[in-house]
Amino acid sequence: MANLPFLPYGRQSVEEDDIAAVAAVLRGDWLTQGPAVAGFERALAARVGAAQAVACANGTAALRLAYAALGIGPGDAVVVPANTFLATASAARHAGAEVAFADVDPDSGLMGVAEAEAAIARAREAGWRVRALAPVHYAGQTAPMDGLAGLARAEGLALVEDACHAVGTVDLSEDGGTPVGAGRPEVAAGSLTVFSFHPVKTIAAGEGGAVTGSDPALMARVRRLCNHGMMREPQAGEGFADPEAALDAEGKANPWYYEMAEPGFNHRLSDIHAALVLSQLGRLDRFIERRARLMALYAERLSPLAPLVRPPALVPWCRPAWHLCAARIDFDAAGRSRSAVMAALRALGVGTQVHYIPVHRQPYWRRRYGDLVLPGAMAHYAHTLSLPLFPAMADGDVDRVAAALERALS
């Protein structure tokens, strides 16, 4: 195995047409907020079945914009599953809100309705005003959105779907299936979905993210907050920044006029990044297919290692665009620690990663909320190990990983 190239747990697939698309931007007139950003926003919205998409700097910025656009702030709380990346929770805290960590199903790693309800109850006991559910579509599978949207509706909460793992996933809980990103218009308090285009995710911008949604007012606020809170059209409602500057002699908006009703961010995406991710979006279906094929091979090749090793648990309510192959491994029964197994795999040329250390265990959150007891998240964490999964992997690489795992565990 020594001569084979190292297999990372994830890797972008950049091809010549991606490079050409980026080079074309560099030769053109706009390096930021030009036609590539606008084109990507249109293409992404169409792909995920949303009325609008706002492209932004990364997935974390997308979360920050979503929470801010929903008006979430001090005294409020957002329900976040403990099995996620730091950013789902940190972005809520940056908005001034508290985080009500929810437990997850130990097998799928997903937050269900019962777990969300328990987190809401705990938050209310603490005196927080619960404002939103932020389900995470872990590894590419959706959280049970029918139930969670129903809960959001019943409780008057907004929905911020963290779909950083799940661009291209189809939610089958509605008739005919709806792509992740279309949102849940029936959730009156607001429904937004966020994506990341970090290189390890399914399509890459380098750094990039997006918020999708279909409520025009909410999406207008996301767009405004992404760009300093600036508006080009005079709003009149709160008075102009300068009435004379706002309107020209014909009473039309002056092209150089701008006003600000609330402070925003600069979370814009550049055209350089947008060109790459737009080009990648054109290959999303190929990526999804290849990832699905590799996952099917994993299921087959890992089966002789059962029950020590099991492939990810499947949920019936979605057709996943797989981001991670989060295998479940009984390290105790194997008599090997996870770190020892990871080191052995590394020596055999196989990279792995752990998704995730439950966020509520992080020192910042423990200092803030003490030691929460979330047994599902801890059980998921204890057995999870993400195996290599990326489109350029060969079928034979799956055999290589399975063989390496067998050695590392024996």
Query: Any contact of residue 115 with ligand PLP (CB under 6 A)?
Result: no
58 vs 280 by CB, closer to ligand PLP: 58
By CB under 6 A, tell whether 12 contacts ligand PLP.
no
Burial of residue 319 (number of CB atoms within 10 Å: 0-12, 13-18, 19+): middle
Candidates 45, 65, 123, 136; binder of ligand PLP (CB under 6 A) is 136
Residue nearest ligand PLP, CB atom distance: 59
Judged by beta carbon, residue 59 or residue 112, the one nearer ligand PLP is: 59
Residue window 202-231: x/- pattern of binding to ligand PLP, with contact defined by CB under 6 A: -------x----------------------
User: Measured between alpha carbons, how far is 1 from 119 in angstroms, rounded to an integer?
Assistant: 47
Cα dihedral 197/203/206/210 (nearest 10):
-30
Among the listed residues 266, 270, 279, 163, the one whose alpha carbon sits nearest the alpha carbon of residue 223: 266
139 contributes a contact to ligand PLP by CB under 6 A:
no
Distance, first Cα to last Cα, the chain: 17
Of 196, 214, 280, 384, the residue at the interface with ligand PLP (CB under 6 A) is: 196
Least separation in angstroms between CB 164 and ligand PLP: 3
Q: What's the token pair of residue 309?
A: 């090793």
Choosing from 25, 164, 246, 408, the residue that interacts with ligand PLP (CB under 6 A) is 164
Contact between 135 and ligand PLP by CB under 6 A: the answer reads no
Please report how close the Cβ of residue 162 comes to ligand PLP at its closest, in angstroms. Answer: 5
DSSP characters over 97-149 = -EEEEE---TTT----HHHHHHHHHHHHHTT-EEEEE--B-GGGPPP-HHHHH
Q: Is 165 a binder of ligand PLP (CB under 6 A)? A: yes
Binding mask 249-288 for ligand PLP (x = CB under 6 A): ----------------------------------------
Alpha-carbon distance 320 to 122, whole Å?
31
Crossing angle of helices 35-48 and 271-281, in 10° steps, is 30
Contacting residues for 129 by C-beta, under 8 A, at least 6 apart: 75, 76, 77
Asked if residue 388 binds ligand PLP (CB under 6 A), the reply is no
DSSP string, 382-403: HHEEEEP--TT--HHHHHHHHH
Determine if 140 is a binding residue for ligand PLP (CB under 6 A): no
Using CB under 6 A as the binding rule, whether residue 85 contacts ligand PLP is answered as yes
Please work out the total of residues on this chain that contact ligand PLP, with binding judged by CB under 6 A. Answer: 14
Candidates 10, 37, 41, 59; binder of ligand PLP (CB under 6 A) is: 59
C-alpha–C-alpha distance, residues 270 and 31, integer Å: 6
Using the Cα atoms of residue 88, residue 93, residue 96 and residue 100 in order, give the sign of their dihedral. Answer: positive
Chain residues that interact with ligand PLP, rule: CB under 6 A: 58-60, 84-85, 87-88, 136, 162, 164-165, 196, 198, 209
